[in-house]
A and B are shown apart, each in its own frame.
Chain A
Amino acid sequence: DTEVTQTPKHLVMGMTNKKSLKCEQHMGHRAMYWYKQKAKKPPELMFVYSYEKLSINESVPSRFSPECPNSSLLNLHLHALQPEDSALYLCASSQEAFPEAFFGQGTRLTVV
């Protein structure tokens, strides 16, 4: 199984809502990532978890809150988002310090 599964695929939320994005992998990967991608732009790194601990936070606003409950799951909690946060949110995983990362299909988020 070389799949990274993200749910939901699409999400529309208001600026006062709280929602969560979920990501799951069963490849035994110990590094997991969140990226944000705007149209016609590269994926932009947000967070990296290594062995279930947050190792990189790329100065992401606190309205995005990551969580890694176990080695297979990664969540991104969303609160008080702005319309400019509308984007494709990609989850990825890899073996620790390994160059090949596997990406999920993403959650397309619209903030209204």
Chain B
Amino acid sequence: GQSLEQPSEVTAVEGAIVQINCTYQTSGFYGLSWYQQHDGGAPTFLSYNALDGLEETGRFSSFLSRSDSYGYLLLQELQMKDSASYFCAPRDGGATNKLIFGTGTLLAVQP
């Protein structure tokens, strides 16, 4: 079976740092992606971790611990435009292209 857990909502203020956690249980695991989706918009790719450790892309960083089946997305210097839903998405076993989304975290950035 497969289970993915994220906090349902997070609230933070502009300029702050926020961490969105993801725990996963999958039958096969190749890596962990993160996607952002604004209300009414399409999901857009943010980052990917295939190996343990931190990947940094501008204000966004993503971390993976394969042994703990755990990852997180770190958003720094929060801006109002970061208000969106964030999904972790483990990728199954390489060749199967099975991209399943986590439960999602709604981030509200306040002034």
Chain A residues within 8 Å of B, Cβ to Cβ: 31, 33, 40-45, 48, 50, 55-56, 90, 92, 94, 96-97, 99-106
Other 10 A-B pairs with CB < 8 A, given A31-B97, A94-B97, A97-B95: A33-B99, A42-B87, A42-B102, A42-B103, A45-B98, A94-B99, A99-B48, A99-B50, A101-B99, A105-B42
Query: Which one of B43, B91, B98 lies within 8 Å of A43 (CB-CB)?
Result: B43
Distance from A108 Cβ to chain B, minimum over Cβ atoms (Å): 9
Interface size class of B (residues with CB under 8 A): 20 to 34
CA distance A101 to B96 in the complex (A): 14
Across the A-B interface, give the 6 residue pairs with the lowest CB-CB distance, nearest first. Answer: A42-B101, A103-B42, A99-B48, A31-B97, A100-B45, A42-B104
B33 touches A48 (CB 8 A): no
Query: In terms of DSSP, what is the predominant structure of the interface of chain B?
Result: loop
Cβ of A31: which chain B residues have Cβ within 8 Å of it? 97
Chain B residues within 8 Å of A, Cβ to Cβ: 31, 33, 41-45, 48, 50, 87, 91, 94-104, 106
A99 touches B87 (CB 8 A): no
CA distance A45 to B110 in the complex (A): 32
Query: Which one of A33, A102, A104 lies within 8 Å of B97 (CB-CB)?
Result: A33
B101 touches A43 (CB 8 A): yes
CA distance A100 to B98 in the complex (A): 12
B96 touches A55 (CB 8 A): yes
Q: List 12 A-B contacts (CB under 8 A).
A: A42-B101, A45-B98, A48-B98, A56-B98, A90-B43, A94-B97, A96-B97, A99-B31, A100-B45, A101-B99, A103-B43, A105-B41
Query: Which one of A97, A100, A104, A106 lies within 8 Å of B48 (CB-CB)?
Result: A100
- Number of A-B residue pairs, CB cutoff 8 Å, is 59
CA distance A48 to B103 in the complex (A): 20
Cβ of B44: which chain A residues have Cβ within 8 Å of it? 103
Cβ of B104: which chain A residues have Cβ within 8 Å of it? 41-42
User: Which of B42, B87, B91: most chain A Cβ within 10 A?
Assistant: B42
CA distance A44 to B87 in the complex (A): 12
B98 touches A99 (CB 8 A): no
